[in-house]
């Protein structure tokens, strides 16, 4: 007799369908060696009983949880959030859930902490966000622990590693082209922090484009920040006080660009008539600041979704490495330079 309101288990399904547990298990796991009519019969019983497999039991038996992990150590919090939404989008309507785990890049115990985390949680796979995605030890750890992983926005790696990135470098070149078209020739850059690949890529794009246009990039035209607002203020101050007298500044992310806005404003310099500024990321601040900021947008949510699907959907996993297009978002922080 069927009990009152007891959650049906695989045994109940098997009993009602007149097959064994294992056969039901095969149906659930889409085993190909089942007679179609058996499959249908079992599926009907599953539906009529409202059976749902117990994830904890599966996790125990398979030694692996139905959880995706998000490993991040990101100075730009907004990016993390967008990334989350992309992953959540990918796993909507699946049995997967998303576990978020911050990583302390500077801690000497970082690897041990993550090892212990992976040991305990037995994740199905992890998505590693920049900049920590550039850490090869971390990637090796994941592999060693038998945990799938996708590295985001990092450099070209072994062919068998999953990677999702965007064409930052090329897009920064487009930014410079745009500024040059507007008539700018003294263009300065606020670089991202040393050792960050994204910062390196953006610098290379800048440098290549400037060179292509035959424009100088003296030391006075270069300042370095750490991707945070305050560092953008300081970097802009250095650039504006130097002898280079830029008519345009490219900042390697929007936060620092906003810092440059701040500095310009506090020195009474009008943006864009006296100084053009371009950022990178198309984060909310870019649209909310005054004047609305021209920046580079990259499809972070789509990238996150693709990364998650690489982990959970074998058919998506075939292309190990994907590149998504970034594009220039034109707003109002760029104008032709004033004549000297």
Partner DNA sequence: ACGCATTTGGACACCGGTGTCAAAAGGTAA
Partner DNA sequence: TTACCTTTTGACACCGGTGTCCAAATGCGT
CB of residue 34 vs DNA: minimum separation in angstroms?
4
Tell the smallest beta-carbon distance from residue 132 to a second copy (Å).
15
Whose Cβ is closer to DNA: residue 120's or residue 219's? 120
What distance separates the 2 farthest-apart alpha carbons in the chain? 92
Residue placing its CB nearer to DNA in the complex, 38 or 121: 38
Beta strands, E only, the chain: 67-72, 97-102, 125-128, 148-152, 162-166, 187-191, 222-224, 248-251, 276-278, 295-297, 321-324, 327-329
By CB under 7 A, name the binding residues for DNA.
7, 9-11, 18-26, 28-29, 33-35, 38, 51-54, 56-58, 60-63
> Would you call 55 helix, strand, or coil by DSSP?
helix
Nearer to a second copy, 60 or 155 (CB): 60
Neighbours of 237 (CB within 10 A): 18
For residue 38, the partner it binds in DNA, a second copy, none, with Cβ less than 5 to 8 A by kind, is DNA
For the bound state, the minimum distance from the C-beta of residue 262 to a second copy, rounded and expressed in Å, comes to 6
Closer of 24 and 260 to DNA (Cβ): 24
65 binds, among DNA, a second copy, none (CB under 5 to 8 A by kind): a second copy
Q: Which is nearer to DNA, 62 or 100 (CB)?
A: 62
Least distance between a second copy and beta carbon 97 (Å):
5
Taking the complex as a whole, the smallest distance from the CB of residue 140 to a second copy amounts, in Å, to 17
Helix axes 36-49, 10-17, angle to 10 degrees: 120
Which residue's structure tokens are 């090869």? 136
> Which of 250, 163, 249, 177 is closest to 208 using CA atoms?
177
Q: What, of a second copy, DNA, none, does residue 88 touch, CB below 5 to 8 Å by kind?
A: a second copy
Write down the least CB distance from residue 68 to DNA, Å. Answer: 18
35 binds, among DNA, a second copy, none (CB under 5 to 8 A by kind): DNA
What phi-psi label fits residue 227: left (phi over 0), alpha (psi between -120 and 50 degrees) or beta? left
Residue 97 binds which of a second copy, DNA, none (CB < 5-8 A, kind-dependent):
a second copy
Exposure letters 175-195 (e unless 16+ CB within 10 A, then b): bbebbbeeebebbbbbbbbee
């Amino acid at each position: 007799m069927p009990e009152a309101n007891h959650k049906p288990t695989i045994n109940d399904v098997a009993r009602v369908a007149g097959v064994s547990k294992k056969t039901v298990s095969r149906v659930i796991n889409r085993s190909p060696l089942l007679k179609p009519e058996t499959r249908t019969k079992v599926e009907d019983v599953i539906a009529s009983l409202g059976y749902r497999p117990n994830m904890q039991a599966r996790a125990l038996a398979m030694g692996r949880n139905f959880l995706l992990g998000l490993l991040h150590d990101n100075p730009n919090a907004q990016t993390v959030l967008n990334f989350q939404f992309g992953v959540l989008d990918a796993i909507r309507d699946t049995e997967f859930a998303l576990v978020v785990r911050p990583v302390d890049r500077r801690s000497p115990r970082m690897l041990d902490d993550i090892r212990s985390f992976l040991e305990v949680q037995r994740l199905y796979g992890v998505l590693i966000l920049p900049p920590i995605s550039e850490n090869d030890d971390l990637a090796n750890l994941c592999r060693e622990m038998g945990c799938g992983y996708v590295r985001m926005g990092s450099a070209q790696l072994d062919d068998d590693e999953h990677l999702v990135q965007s064409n930052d470098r090329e897009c920064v070149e487009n930014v410079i082209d745009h500024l040059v078209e507007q008539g700018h020739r003294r263009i300065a850059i606020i670089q991202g922090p040393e050792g960050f690949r994204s910062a390196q890529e953006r610098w290379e794009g800048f440098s290549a484009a400037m060179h292509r246009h035959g424009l100088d990039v003296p030391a006075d035209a270069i300042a370095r920040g750490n991707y945070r607002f305050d560092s953008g203020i300081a970097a802009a101050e250095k650039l504006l006080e130097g002898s280079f007298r830029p008519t345009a500044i490219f900042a390697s992310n929007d936060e620092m660009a906003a810092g440059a806005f701040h500095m310009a404003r506090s020195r009474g310099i009008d943006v864009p008539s006296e100084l053009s500024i371009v950022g990178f990321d198309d984060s909310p601040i870019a649209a909310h600041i005054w004047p609305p900021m021209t920046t580079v947008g990259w499809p972070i949510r789509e990238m996150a979704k693709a990364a998650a699907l690489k982990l959970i959907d074998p058919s998506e996993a075939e292309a190990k490495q994907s590149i998504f297009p970034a594009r220039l978002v034109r707003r109002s922080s760029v104008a032709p330079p004033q004549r000297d």
